[in-house]
Structure 1
Amino acid sequence: MHASRILGTAATLLLTAVVLTACAGSPEAAPEETAPEAAPTTAAPEPTSTAEPEPTSTEDPTCETLIAATVVAEFEGVGWTAQESPLYIGSTEIEDGLQCMWADFEGPAGDHGMMFGWAPLEESKAGDVQDELISQGWVREESADGVYITESPDTVIAPDDEGYGMTYHFTDGEVTFAGTKQGLLLIEWPKA
């Protein structure tokens, strides 16, 4: 009897192993595994879509969007407002350019204020306006992130900590401007 029980148990185990092996190799298991893989492929294009940033980058800048919102809040907190005007480089008005002067225009006249500017700029035109500035005594500095043209140290009225006054920063396809070279760091246009 002992032997028949062992044989019965062995037969049950063998039958269970055969059924499990047959189920594991069944084609029904494969679609279940591939179905979850198909879902991320469908969802993946949505996060990488650039549909949302495009409207932001194609909007025209304003004095309030050209610089960081925190900087705008600080300026407004001390009573400053912005006056918008076209951006000029030397004698050339830059098409689609913007220049902003932030100051307290309601208060007494003074020398407190900050200027910022931005414009799209073709490389051929960039070379022409740079040449004009240099002919007027401005100084050219090349760096890994573009070309800086800054007013002559002899004529700077309100320099930054490094001695720079009004400065243009020319990069591929655009130009930024600030009342000091350090002021360029406050410009956040185009928005990412």
Structure 2
Amino acid sequence: MNSRRLAALTGFLLIGALLTGCADDGGPAPAPSQHPTSAADGTGATPAPSADQLTCESLISDGTVAALTDAGWTAEPREFVVGGVELPQGLLCFWADFTVPSDHGQMYGWSPLSAADAERAQAGLEEEGWRIEEGTAGVYVTEDPQYAMSTDEDGYGMTYLFGDGWVKVADTKQGLLLVEGRE
């Protein structure tokens, strides 16, 4: 699936009501899930999962999974392509109630990637009209808000965050906060 088709598909995924209920209800964001720490390295840090450990449920916090499943939603993994770069080691998940026709859902994804692939992916997105911003967490690449079907309170639609050796994506920049434990 090319990036334009992915952007169009995600344009139909409205994050508003559920994301507001999950992370922006005026209270604190959902707490990150507690994963076992690595005893081998003695740092107490949560080890990054291998590709075979990554699931739609482990990609986001336990609280977010609970809120989505309580709403009757399930996850379906999809092909993960960013700016024309295929990311077969990553995972892109669409959460929705797939038992009824609807344009309501949420999307979350994470993948490892090399610096060269990150550069190619960012260039591909920029060629398609996406906007690039430097931030303290990494490089944000977001769709032009005039074409976004759904935006967060700051006006961001579907957004990728490129870090050191990884990329994550959500329906909105605010939604990136729900993709946890992979940096």
State the TM bucket, normalised to the shorter chain: 0.7 to 0.9
Alignment of 1:1-192 (within 5 A): 49=42, 53-54=46-47, 57-58=49-50, 60-107=53-100, 109-190=101-182
CA distance in 2, matches of 1:110, 1:125: 34
CA distance in 2, matches of 1:131, 1:183: 23
TM-score scaled to structure 2, two decimals?
Answer: 0.72
CA distance in 2, matches of 1:127, 1:170: 9
1:141-166 CA distance string (max 9 Å, x none): 00121000000112110111111111
CA distance in 2, matches of 1:76, 1:147: 31
Detail structure 1 runs of 4+ shifted over 4 Å in the superposition: 50-54
1:130-186 CA distance string (max 9 Å, x none): 001001000000012100000011211011111111100000000000011110000
CA distance in 2, matches of 1:64, 1:176: 15
Maintained 8 Å contact 1:165/1:179: yes
CA distance in 1, matches of 2:45, 2:160: 30
Shift of 1:187: 0.6
CA distance in 2, matches of 1:85, 1:123: 23
TM-score scaled to structure 1, two decimals?
Answer: 0.69
Shift in CA distance, 128/50, structure 1 to aligned 2, threshold 3 Å = same
Q: Out of 181-190 and 129-138, give the one that drifted further.
A: 181-190
Partner AA of 1:122 in structure 2:
S
Task: Kindly indicate which of the two structures has a greater share of residues assigned to helix.
Answer: 1
CA distance in 1, matches of 2:124, 2:45: 39
Shift of 1:190: 2.3
Shift of 1:61: 1.1
| Corresponding residue pairs, total | 144
Partner AA of 2:137 in structure 1:
D
Secondary structure of 1:57 counterpart: coil
Higher relative contact order (CA 8 A, sep 6+): 2
- Identity over the aligned pairs, expressed in percent? 43
**Gaps spanning 5+ residues in structure 1: where?**
1-45
Shift in CA distance, 154/53, structure 1 to aligned 2, threshold 3 Å = closer
Secondary structure of 2:147 counterpart: coil
| Higher Cα radius of gyration | 1
